[in-house]
Structure 1
Amino acid sequence: MTAVILSAVVFCLSMSLKGLFMKEPQHRYLSFHYFVYFGFLYLTLMIGFALIYMLLHMNGHAVWAEDAYSHLGFWERFFTSLYFSGITLFSVGYGDIVPEGAGRWVALIEAWTGYTIPTAFVVRTMFEKQGQ
C-alpha cells in the first residue's frame, strides 16, 4: 500500500513540474497568473515531499534526528514534516530539524528542485522572448 501511495505522490509532483516545462503559457511576461501558478507549484511540492517524509517514517526509515520528535502524534508529525519540507524547499534550512538516513537523500532532491525552479522559469522566459 505504501508503494501505491508513494507512486501517487511522485506522480503528482512530476505532473506539477511538467507544467513548468511543457505547458504553453498564456502570458509571455511576469504576471499575476505566473505568481499564482508558482505559489501552487511550490505548495504542491511542499505537501508532496512532506508526504514522502511521512511515508518513509511510517515504514521505519530514518528521516530526521528522532530525539526531539519521537513523542509526536500523527498530525504533529505531519505538520513537522510540512515545516521541514518548506524550509528545505526554499533552501532556508534553520537547522532545528536535521535529516538523516533516507531523509537526507529526499531533502537533497527537494532542495535541488526548489533551487532550480526559479532558474527554469527565467531560462524559459528568455527563450520565449527570443522566439517572438
Structure 2
Amino acid sequence: MKRHILAAVLVGGLAATPVLAQNDGQTAFNTSCRTCHTMKEGDNRLGPNLAGIVGRKAGSLPDYNYSSSMKQSGITWDAATLDQFIANPDQVVSGNNMKPYGGITDAAQRKTIVDFLQSGG
C-alpha cells in the first residue's frame, strides 16, 4: 500500500513539472511582452499578436501595420531568430517599431519566453 502511495506521489510530481514550466513561460511573457502583445489570434494591440509566431514570416499578419523594415526583413521566426530578436530587436531588424523595448539580456528568461511562444501559449 505504501508503495502505491509513493508511486502516485512521484508520478503526480513529475506530471506537474511541465505545468510549472508552462506557468513560468506565461509569467515571463506577461512580465516582458504582454504590455504590447497577446497570444490570442486576431487580437493585435500596440504590437501584433504572437499566436503561431513560430514558422510565420516576419511582418506578414494582414491586419497589423508593421514597419517597412519588418515587412522586408525576410525572417521566418524560429527559436533562434526569436531568441536573437528578444535579446536585441534593433540588431536583428533595424528600424522595427519595438521602442522603447531594448531587449532581454538574461538567456534563461529569453529561453523561457521562446519555449512559451513555441508551445502556443
State TM-score, norm by structure 1. Answer: 0.32
State TM-score, norm by structure 2. Answer: 0.34
Higher helix share: 1
Larger radius of gyration: 2
Larger RCO: 1 or 2 (CA < 8 Å, sep 6+): 1
